[in-house]
Amino acid sequence: MKCILMNKNKKVLLAEYDKATGVFTNVYEIYDINYAPYILKSSYLSNDINDTFRTNLTEWFKGRGIPSWRDRLDLLLHRLNINAPCELLDKAFGLSLSDQYFLCPLNSNIKYEDINFFDNDFDYTEFMEASLSKNSSIITNVSSLKTPNNTTDGMLRKAWIIDNNIRYLLKGGYKNETLQPFNEALASEICKRLDFSHVEYTLDIYKNIVVSKCPCFITKDTELITCHQIVNDMKKYNSLQDYEEYIKKLEKEGIENPRIKLENMYILDFLIMNEDRHLNNFGIIRDVNTLKWLDVAPIFDNGQSLNIEYYDDVEMHIKGEGKLFYEIKPFDEIIKVVKDIKRIDINKLDGIVEWFDELLHKYQKITEYSDTRINRLCILLNRQVNKLKKLIENS
């Protein structure tokens, strides 16, 4: 299929796309590389459309789909009546709620205004049931496959829905673990108290399953460019210097106070012991019309936190390590990237442990968490808050 990769109303490139394999077999022409996905810019050298560029284009597009490591993927594919996630990518032109890219068949009169999911409603009920429910039948409504749910990354079961004309993402737990939605709600409460820019997560119940619910923070005029895409175009040091170079890059592009905003993210990670701050769950927001870098993306995706490997009546056993760019480090080391820890008003977190305890008990009948487990989680959170307090006092 000959198609044009579009960024909203801008033509990016003309290519041949093989639906059967999900591979771009040829790139005929580049119209405007500046409006291409940021990850492709570094492989477009001296106007040369080489094999690396075609490979990166394919990897980028496949990366928009549901990953092979999605929890209960085999069950989801069965319910969707498809063999592989890549089969979903062209069901809705590859559209996403994270950016404005889509594949327009050559000589088609399709317009962005008529198909994008920011302005146009989509069916989601069957997809949501297939993704999140314990029991679901095979989807028979073809329109249920024409949704932004085809382009959701990450390992957690999730689904985009529309509620009062707002696009929300629902996320469940991982396998038999159900703590992730509660961690998202806790992260939001901490960010709210400390005045950190963040995506607001609340809790909802879907068919007796607790899920997190957050609004889409991208608009039809913006896109999320992840840190992974940005550092792909930078020299790598595989050390803390990568973090410093990333900050310099954001400053050069005109983003205000990127260091403080990134520090806020790592402060949150320290408090909730977030183990999964990988390079695709933070980044920047770019205007797709002007290509201006607007701001650091609000803090999002905090579910893999407060991981107690096991506990008994005497002690808790925890991993105690997180991610700082390419390095896995103890949280006590990661927090050292914060230059001025005294700027944090730790008193704003007074009562946060009690707040979390109340939240966990509120849903106890659904989660079946024991009082002991809830107590251990609160002890761990309290320990991290007190650690941060001591760091502030001693700095």
Domain with residue 357: its CATH number is 1.10.1070.20
Q: Can you read off the two tokens belonging to residue 45?
A: 């050298």
Report the C-alpha gap between 89 and 357 in whole angstroms. Answer: 41
| 102 token code pair | 């889509």
Assigned token pair, 178: 């159900």
The CA dihedral of 192, 193, 196, 200, to the nearest 10 degrees, is: -10
Among residues 146, 85, 109, 119, the alpha carbon closest in space to that of 4 is found at: 109
Q: Domain range spanning residue 40?
A: 1-62
In this structure, what token pair is assigned to residue 335? 């927090």
360's tokens: 């966990």
**Distances, alpha carbon 36 to alpha carbons 44, 61, 287, in Å:** 10, 12, 13
Sheet holding 23-30, edge to edge: 23-30, 10-18, 2-7, 101-105
Distance CA 196, CA 177 (A): 28
Domain count, the chain: 2
pTM for the model stands at: 0.93
Is 363 within a domain?
A: yes
**What single string gives the DSSP state of each residue in 36-60?**
S-GGGGGG-BTTB--HHHHHHHHHH
Is residue 358 in some structural domain?
Answer: yes
- Domain boundary (62, 82, 106) is at 62
| Residue 104: inside a domain | no
Query: In the listed set 22, 47, 62, which residue is the last one of a domain according to the structure?
Result: 62
Q: Is residue 323 part of a domain?
A: yes
Give the whole-angstrom CA distance, residue 379 versus residue 357: 10
Picking from 190, 108, 141, the residue whose alpha carbon sits closest to that of residue 388 is: 190
Residue 233 forms part of a structural domain:
yes
* In-domain check, residue 324: yes
Output the six-digit token pair for 276.
Answer: 């999964």
Q: Are 81 and 136 in contact (CB under 8 A)?
A: no
Residue 152 located in a structural domain: no
In order along its 395 residues, the chain shows pLDDT tens digits of: 999 999 999 999 999 999 888 899 999 999 999 999 999 987 786 566 778 899 999 999 999 888 787 877 788 888 878 787 777 787 889 999 999 999 999 999 999 999 999 999 998 888 888 888 776 666 556 566 788 988 888 877 889 999 999 999 999 887 777 999 999 999 999 999 999 999 999 999 998 899 999 999 999 999 999 999 999 889 988 889 999 999 999 999 999 999 999 999 999 999 999 999 999 999 999 999 999 999 999 999 999 999 887 666 666 778 789 999 999 999 999 999 999 999 999 999 999 999 999 999 999 999 999 999 999 999 999 999 999 999 999 99
- Of 11, 28, 62, which closes a domain? 62
Three-state DSSP at 12 gives: strand
Strand ranges inside the chain, DSSP E: 2-7, 10-18, 23-30, 101-105, 158-163, 166-171, 202-206, 209-215, 222-226, 283-287, 293-296, 308-311, 316-318, 321-324, 327-330
In a domain, 8, yes or no: yes
